Amino acid sequence: MSNTRIAKWDNLKFLLMLTVVMGHTVDFYTDESMVLGWLNFFIYIFHMPAFMFVSGLFMKNTVNNKKYDRMFSYLILGFATKLFKFIANCIVGRRLKIEYFNEDSIAWYAFAIFMFALVTVYLRRFNRTYVFVLAVILGVMVGYDKSVDTYLSLARIFTFYPFFFAGYCLEGEKIIEKTDRIWVKAVSAVFVVTVAVLTYLNFHKIDWLIKIFKGKYPYNKLPDYDDFGGLFRLGHYIVAFAFVFALIALMPKAKTFISTIGGRTLPIYALHTSVITLLRGFGMDSLLIGLFGVNYVYVIPVAAVLILLVTSLKPFAIMIDKIINPPLSAESVDKQ
């Protein structure tokens, strides 16, 4: 894809980053509010599949030109995210621990992108349909292996690679062209609203499916349905891919302030869980209860938006860029 920023993609990245922050913020309150529980459930249907798809779309140049320094920046980003969370826990007085290989926090995404890019450098030589089908099969089957979970983020790496590879294979310009038709937008709107309504009305019957959406649990963690886990994941793949193209179709093309924020997803990603830890550690819940009483949980989504806005500020973007793109040595500069 061209290096010129396209507002439609930045707008989509804004929406997806908002859902990431929203999900991690409301996750602490899902037992206190059915609405927040459903919101968290609905977000997980599509936000990581769509993020992986967009990541694959924009890693095309990195993979094709074997830009290993760019790939390595995601590995640094993952460890930086873990470090920020460690510091936040230290500040609020929580038990200090850090795990390099067992990854159950937000850092898994950066590690997964690093692995996806490396693997795709090799797999791109093969027939793309073959690789995609194989990736889907492995993603479906991995859930039956009880030993594959959060260690090295392996469960999520297998689960979400089909979305990354699909994004890598497709052309952004053609996707926009195909989804920019009135009938596609209308069908997309009906699809999103229908899924939202149906999941809301049946939330208490299907809430356990979030274990499928998160991609980190083996199927034996599902209540009474572990033998059918592969079918549920395959169904999720179909719905999630439909969501990806529906969101692209519905995303506005105009450049606005959200486009700017959408261009700064890395600092938001790296910092938002640490900010949540600090806010909760210093009594955000007590403050909100004092101000809003039992209705305080409905202010949580507003807090998520504020966290997004603060962590998207330019100074944080500059800081993260400096961390994940270290300066080259003198010898490396001379060779260029």
The pLDDT assigned to 330 comes to 55
The encoded tokens of residue 326 equal: 């270290």
Two tokens at 184? 């596609």
DSSP secondary-structure letter at 138? H
Query: Pick from 145, 48, 160, 151: which is nearest to 104 by CA?
Result: 151
Instruction: Phi first, then psi: give them for residue 152, nearest 5 degrees.
Output: 55, 20
DSSP letter string, 270-294: HHHHHHHHHHHHTTHHHHHHHHHGG
Q: Say yes or no to pLDDT of 83 above 90.
A: yes
Structure tokens at 321: 């860029």
pLDDT digits (tens, 9 = 90+) for 110-129: 999 999 999 999 999 999 99
Report the percent of the chain where pLDDT is more than 90: 79
H/E stretch holding 69 reads helix 68-91
Q: What confidence tier does 150 reach under pLDDT thresholds 50, 70, 90?
A: confident
pLDDT for position 336? 56
Please list, residue by residue across 179-202, b when 16 or more beta carbons sit within 10 angstroms of its beta carbon and e when fewer do.
Answer: beeeebeeebeebbeebeeebeee
Indicate if the pLDDT at residue 158 is higher than 60.
yes
* Dihedrals phi, psi of 236, to nearest 5 degrees: -65, -40
E runs forming strands in 136-243: none
Average pLDDT for 165-177: 96
Task: Fill in the DSSP letter of residue 151.
Answer: B
User: Would you call 102 helix, strand, or coil by DSSP?
Assistant: strand
Of 104, 17, 107, 95, residue with least CA distance to 281: 95
pLDDT digits over 211-261, tens only?
Answer: 999 999 999 988 778 889 999 999 999 999 999 999 999 999 999 999 999
In 3D space, the residue among 307, 215, 268, 259 whose CA is nearest the CA of residue 77 turns out to be 268
